[in-house]
């Protein structure tokens, strides 16, 4: 189903059923990029077929690999052992992860490439990646404003470096490590607050040697330049950031029991689940197993009486994409949920603090916005009755649709088309659980 107009969520009867979340977005980007970088064939099972990932697939092909969807729904990447100058501009669409990681990979090769993106991506900061890559020897020309897309990268001749993270960003860490693969000497990234480690794990799956250690300064990931990758098989588990939406609906709609199967449980991604449990959520995990080098499990959410808590700031990196849906569930919790130390939310696909604060307030929820966070004071009875501005942000849209599944009045979102960037089939999946979400 595609939508060009408004979608509306209405108070729903109990949601029940078991579903699978789409493939993890972070792992899907990396599987395609590393497949293109490796020698030989990579097969990817469970790839997220969202718009962000399809943009990365086209980019990897433009850099010289062969990328195909096979008859059984898997993907095959035939890598050539390196990236070449593409014939046109690389358009990464809405995907910050796509463009920042691709810059890292491309910087390691003797090529020139222009990167661009949609209106949202053109507003996001790029110097956090171009800065360290310049220190390694890459050169950049800004096509318009400094720090923003479009930009042209001239790669090759890199030297390894030691980089100390100033923001807890897996995108920055990954760009530097990926560039380091084709730099002279060693590259290391020091993280005072550890961010998701899919790049380190997946590089190993493709045959690279990556050392990770805990030191007094934080977690250190390092690798030696000049390593060659070999194609492999990647099984992408379900995305915990996407699973969060049906699970949140299960928590807030009375009588619900919702299971999402095969959810990735990497501890650097599960801050939201821990937070919900501390808020009193009846959230259980069964059938824990290993898949695609990650622990996965089946997560069940039952309707729960939630209580507000203060989310520890050091947990932010492990749930940075989940604060929008956390704030929607906090709207139904008794008392205040305090979310601080999350200024990074302002430079995601939209300014997520400001948009969630505005959307929740329009639905009658008490919200206090701060420069680096927000506080939501909930009640079991949320008024709703608004059409919320999403500023083309998929997670803002899905969070408000979930909010509307138990509000007095319906909640509508203005731009549901963007949901397909990370969660194609979201509406059908939610409807299958019994949610009332319809085009209006
Ligand atoms: C991602 C890292 C996060 C996250 C994004 C995916 C990744 O960004 O918000 O959706 O796959 O590395 P930062 O690392 O910049 O916080």
Q: Identify whether residues 164 and 268 lie together within a single domain.
A: no
**Any idea which of 3-17, 77-91, 367-381 has the lowest mean pLDDT?**
3-17
User: 261 and 150: one domain?
Assistant: no
Q: Which residues are annotated as a binding site for phosphoenolpyruvate?
A: 25, 96, 124, 171, 352, 395
- Whether ligand 1 lies within 6 angstroms of the CB of 316 is answered as no
> What's the mean pLDDT when you consider all of the chain?
97
Q: Is 233 within a domain? A: no
191 and 250 part of one domain: no
Asked if residue 374 belongs to a domain, the reply is yes
Examine the domain organization and report whether 49 and 149 are in the same domain.
Answer: yes
266 lines ligand 1 (CB under 6 A): no
| pLDDT for 4 beyond 60 | no
Do residues 214 and 116 both lie within one domain?
yes
Both 13 and 77 in a single domain? no
Q: Is the CB of 170 under 6 A from ligand 1?
A: yes
The span from the CA of 189 to the CA of 161, in Å, is 8
Binning pLDDT at 50, 70 and 90, where does residue 121 land? very high
CA 99 to ligand 1 center in whole angstroms: 11
Among 94, 170, 194, 236, which residue has the most ligand 1 atoms within 8 Å of its CB, making it the best to mutate? 170
Question: Catalytic residue positions?
Answer: 321
Residue 56 sits in a domain whose CATH number is 3.65.10.10
Q: Are residues 164 and 177 in the same domain?
A: yes
394 C-alpha to center of ligand 1: Å? 15
In a domain, 229, yes or no: no
Would you say how long the chain is, in residues? 440
* Domain of residue 416, residue span: 6-23+238-439
The answer, yes or no, to whether residue 125 has pLDDT greater than 80, is yes
In a domain, 232, yes or no: no
Same domain? For 156 and 243 the reply is no
User: Are residue 248 and residue 181 in the same domain, yes or no?
Assistant: no
Closest C-alpha to ligand 1, atom 15:
169
In a shared domain, residues 201 and 274: no
pTM over 0.75: yes
Position 7 confidence tier, pLDDT thresholds 50, 70, 90: very high
Choosing from 190, 223, 256, the residue where a domain stops is 223
Cα 100 to ligand 1 centre (Å): 10
**Has residue 318 got a pLDDT over 50?**
yes
Ligand 1 contacts CB of residue 321 (under 6 A): yes
pLDDT value of residue 110: 98
Residue-wise pLDDT tens digits, 184-193: 999 999 999 9
Regarding the beta carbon of 97 and ligand 1, being less than 6 Å apart is answered yes
In a domain, 1, yes or no: no
pLDDT for position 1: 45
* Tens digit of each residue's pLDDT (9 = 90 or more) over 406-418: 999 999 999 899 9
Q: Are residues 304 and 352 in the same domain?
A: yes
Instruction: State pLDDT tens for residues 31-84.
Output: 999 999 999 999 999 999 999 999 999 999 999 999 999 989 999 999 999 999
For residue 199, give the ligand 1 atom closest to its CA: 12
Please give the distance, rounded to the nearest whole angstrom, from the Cα atom of residue 415 to the centre of ligand 1. 22
Dihedrals φ, ψ of 112, to 5°?
-125, 140
Is there a single domain that holds both residue 123 and residue 135? yes
CA of 120 to the centre of ligand 1 (A): 15
Residue that finishes a domain, picked among 223, 258, 274: 223
Residue 28 buriedness (CB in 10 A; 0-12 / 13-18 / 19+)? buried
Query: pLDDT for 353-380, tens place per residue?
Result: 999 999 999 999 999 999 999 999 999 9
Q: Is 231 inside a domain boundary?
A: no
Residue that terminates a domain, selected from 174, 196, 223 = 223
Number of domains forming the structure of the chain: 2
What pLDDT, in 10s, does the model give residues 236-258? 999 999 999 999 999 999 999 99
pLDDT at 3 over 70: no
Per-residue pLDDT, averaged over 6-28, amounts to: 97
322 CB less than 6 Å from ligand 1?
no
The answer to the question of residue 253 being in a domain is yes
For 128-138, what is each residue's pLDDT tens digit?
999 999 999 99
230 assigned to some structural domain: no
- Residue 5 or residue 138, greater confidence: 138
Q: pLDDT digits over 183-216, tens only?
A: 999 999 999 999 999 999 999 999 999 999 999 9
């Amino acid at each position: 189903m595609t939508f060009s107009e408004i979608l509306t969520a209405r108070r729903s009867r109990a949601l029940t059923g078991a579903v699978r979340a789409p493939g993890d977005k972070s792992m899907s980007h990396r599987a395609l990029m590393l497949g293109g970088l490796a020698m030989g064939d990579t097969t990817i099972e469970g790839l997220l077929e969202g718009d962000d990932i399809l943009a990365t697939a086209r980019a990897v092909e433009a850099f010289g690999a062969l990328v195909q969807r096979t008859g059984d729904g898997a993907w095959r990447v035939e890598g050539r052992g390196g990236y070449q100058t593409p014939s046109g501009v690389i358009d990464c669409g809405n995907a910050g992860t796509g463009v920042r990681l691709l810059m890292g990979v491309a910087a390691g090769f003797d090529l020139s490439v222009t990167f661009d993106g949609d209106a949202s991506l053109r507003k996001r900061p790029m110097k956090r990646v171009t800065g360290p890559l310049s220190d390694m020897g890459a050169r950049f020309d800004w096509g318009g404003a400094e720090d923003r897309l479009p930009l042209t990268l001239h790669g090759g001749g890199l030297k390894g470096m030691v980089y100390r993270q100033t923001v807890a960003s897996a995108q920055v860490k990954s760009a530097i490590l990926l560039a380091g693969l084709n730099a002279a000497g060693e590259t290391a990234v020091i993280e005072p607050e550890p961010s998701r480690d899919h790049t380190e794990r997946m590089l190993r799956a493709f045959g690279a040697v990556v050392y990770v250690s805990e030191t007094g300064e934080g977690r250190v990931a390092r690798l030696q330049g000049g390593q060659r990758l070999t194609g492999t098989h990647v099984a992408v588990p379900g995305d915990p950031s996407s699973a969060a939406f049906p699970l949140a609906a299960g928590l807030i709609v009375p009588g619900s029991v919702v299971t999402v199967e095969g959810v990735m449980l990497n501890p650097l991604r599960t801050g939201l689940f821990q937070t919900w449990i501390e808020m009193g959520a009846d959230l259980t995990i069964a059938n824990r197993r290993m898949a695609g080098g990650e622990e996965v499990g089946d997560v069940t959410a039952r309707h729960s009486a939630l209580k507000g808590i203060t989310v520890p700031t050091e947990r932010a990196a492990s749930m940075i994409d989940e604060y929008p849906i956390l704030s929607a569930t906090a709207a139904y919790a008794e008392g205040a949920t305090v979310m601080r130390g999350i200024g990074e939310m302002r430079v995601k696909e939209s300014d997520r603090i400001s948009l969630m604060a505005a959307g929740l307030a329009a639905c009658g929820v008490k919200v206090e916005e701060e420069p680096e966070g927000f506080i939501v004071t909930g009640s079991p009875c949320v008024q709703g009755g608004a059409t919320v501005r999403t500023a083309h942000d998929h997670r803002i849209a899905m969070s408000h649709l979930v909010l509307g599944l138990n509000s007095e009045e319906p909640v509508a979102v203005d731009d549901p088309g963007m949901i397909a960037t990370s969660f194609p089939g979201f509406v059908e999946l939610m409807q299958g659980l019994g949610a009332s979400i319809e085009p209006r």
